[in-house]
Structure 1
Amino acid sequence: MDLVFVDSGQVFTDSLTVAEVFGKQHKDVMRDIRNLECSEEFNQRNFAPIDYTDDRNRTYRKYLIKRDGLAFLVFGYTGSKAAEYKEKYIQAFNSMEEELKKPKALSEREQLIASMKLSLETAEEISHIKSDLDIVKHQVSEELTLNHGQQQTLHHEIKKRVESIKNDYELTKRELYSQIHSHLRRAFAAPKYVFVKRKDFDEALSWVKSWRPLI
């Protein structure tokens, strides 16, 4: 006979089992529970009245009993077997409570659900990482200035543009260089041409190739 059982993650015995184990009438155990001199709070926490149906489909009342409630109830029970069964009850409660603490093996369905949940969480994490990377890439793109090769190319185009239009205006080469650099800085919000943003390189080249001075 199982002395204890699990219900909703908690370990119980019941008044029917107590009556059978200690050789008492169930009605007497029920009376003992009702007459216990304990606080109302203790009673409600350790004794839960419920209905059950017997073999003839008749409905009766019994109590679900927790560990502390059992100890309080059977404290005064005596007899040749009373001490033995008190000890067995304690062992049964301890064993069942230890069993509940062990990690529960997942069923195939639970494993599948756990796997799907993990996959969803991983997908969400990857999505967040990609989003963060996109933000970083955008920030880097916004901050990176021309590399050395691009600087040389832009410098060459500036020189080439000045040389190509120097005879079209009554301005010295120095004045042309001064204007093109000044206009380029304003157009691309850069203190010097070497600080033009890398993302604006192609636009800057086109700008230089079509630049004309103010006269």
Structure 2
Amino acid sequence: MKNLVFVENGIAVTDSLTVAQVFNKEHKHVIRDIEIQLEKLTEAGEKEWGVSNFGLTQYQHPQNKQWYPKYNLTEDAFAIVAMSYVTPEAMKMKVKFLDEFKRLREQLRAVQTPKTQLEILQVSIQQLVEQERRLTAVENRVEQTEKKQDQITEILSLNPTGWRKKVNGLINKIAQSVGGYGAYQDIRNESYQRLEERARCDLSTRLTNKQRKMALEGVAKSKIDKVSRMDVIAEDARLTEIYLAIVKEMAIEYQVDTSNMALKG
């Protein structure tokens, strides 16, 4: 077996082939595990971190000479992927991997140790700059996470008072996030479709029935023509409650920025 950990571009890494061999897994299953974690990182807003720690590359199969994908993994990336491997034997292998990472990391540090005071000063400055960069990045991520959480809380707290105006505002925001004004009608139709599926109703039929009733009551045609599916929803407290919940869900799914929106009151 080749070394568990090796140096790639001056960094201690392992790869998906080694992980598959050591943990007695098919390589395609390890690739699947890695890509699942990359998807989760993207969903968490950590796509850049995933790209930095999971390096997609290729290897040539020794038998058919074909090229196939593999991943190089930093120590942190390995820890994330191996987190779900929990058998006693797997735990032993994880300890071996981490020991190897530590050994090689210390070996690299020893090789890179500066020999002069100037080099020491330069390295110290670089480390401080890098530390500041990482701290700023963490603070930015925390700030963004807190902002998203605040917005989710604000959306969830949206109450039925003045619900039509608030719903219209959220749908406008969703449309802007996915393509601008041209996407408005698609988002609106999606919200109606979700309502019909969840409430098991037909808004078009209800709208037609309402317009016929208004006609029989002698309401002017110009007024009848202005009646919309929103008016139908507003007539039914159950539909209003469900529709409000659906638009909230959509706003959270599409990660709507509720800044400058009056959702309260």
TM-score of the pair, normalised by structure 2 = 0.38
Q: Which has the larger radius of gyration?
A: 1
Q: Which structure shows the higher helix fraction?
A: 2
Q: TM-score, normalised by structure 1?
A: 0.47
